């Protein structure tokens, strides 16, 4: 371990924690619990890399600064993390929280609050928003407003189509 045959001589490899090296004594394989990165054996793979199955430090990929594998990013650079990928904008049904696109709690919700993913701001097209909840129709005492929200009726009405009669 840590030696190579160079011109019929047993020669020590360059660096620490080396298991195997090439003819110019540079590491090609590291001892257990060490990873090969840029022809050196290191204790941990540096930022922007991950250890592969051969214990080589491999690049995470474009815009990813921390990952578990090439296909699973954990932290993005100047982009947002969504399902292990770095994307430019969070898709509908998610909200941006500290660089991560977090899903809204309701499947019918297109836009939810950052502070409470259970509170819907905008529902799917065919649904109405009633106090942060997506409903098929407004309850008694409320009417469907133009922006697909349920608004309170005039205090004298139990059922209405608009807030007040306007002239």
Residue 57 CB neighbours (<10 A): 19
Using pLDDT thresholds of 50, 70 and 90, give the confidence band for residue 160: confident
pLDDT above 70 (res 163): no
How do residues 6-63 score in pLDDT, each as one tens digit?
777 788 888 899 998 887 888 999 999 999 999 999 999 999 999 999 999 999 988 9
Mean per-residue pLDDT, 137-156:
89
Per-residue pLDDT tens over the stretch 1-14: 777 777 777 888 88
The SS3 of residue 167 is coil
Handedness of CA 31, 36, 38, 44 (dihedral sign): negative
Mean pLDDT of 156-161: 72
Is the model's pLDDT at 155 over the cut of 80?
no
Is pLDDT at 162 greater than 70 in this prediction? no
In this model, does residue 75 exceed pLDDT 70?
yes
Q: Are 61 and 79 in contact (CB under 8 A)?
A: no
């Amino acid at each position: 371990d840590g030696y190579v045959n160079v011109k019929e001589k047993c020669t020590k490899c360059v660096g620490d924690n080396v298991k195997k090296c090439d003819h110019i004594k540079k590491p090609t394989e590291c001892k257990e619990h060490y990873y090969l990165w840029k022809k050196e054996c290191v204790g941990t793979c540096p930022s922007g890399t991950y250890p592969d199955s051969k214990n080589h430090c491999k690049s995470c990929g474009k815009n990813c600064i921390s990952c578990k594998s090439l296909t699973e990013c954990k932290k993005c650079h100047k982009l947002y993390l969504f399902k292990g990928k770095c994307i430019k904008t969070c898709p509908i049904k998610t909200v941006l929280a500290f660089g991560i696109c977090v899903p809204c709690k309701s499947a019918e919700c297109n836009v939810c609050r950052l502070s409470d993913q259970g509170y819907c701001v905008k529902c799917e097209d065919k649904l109405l928003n009633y106090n942060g909840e997506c409903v098929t129709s407004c309850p008694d005492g409320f009417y469907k407003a133009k922006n697909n929200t349920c608004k309170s009726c005039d205090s004298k009405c139990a059922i209405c189509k608009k807030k007040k009669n306007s002239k």
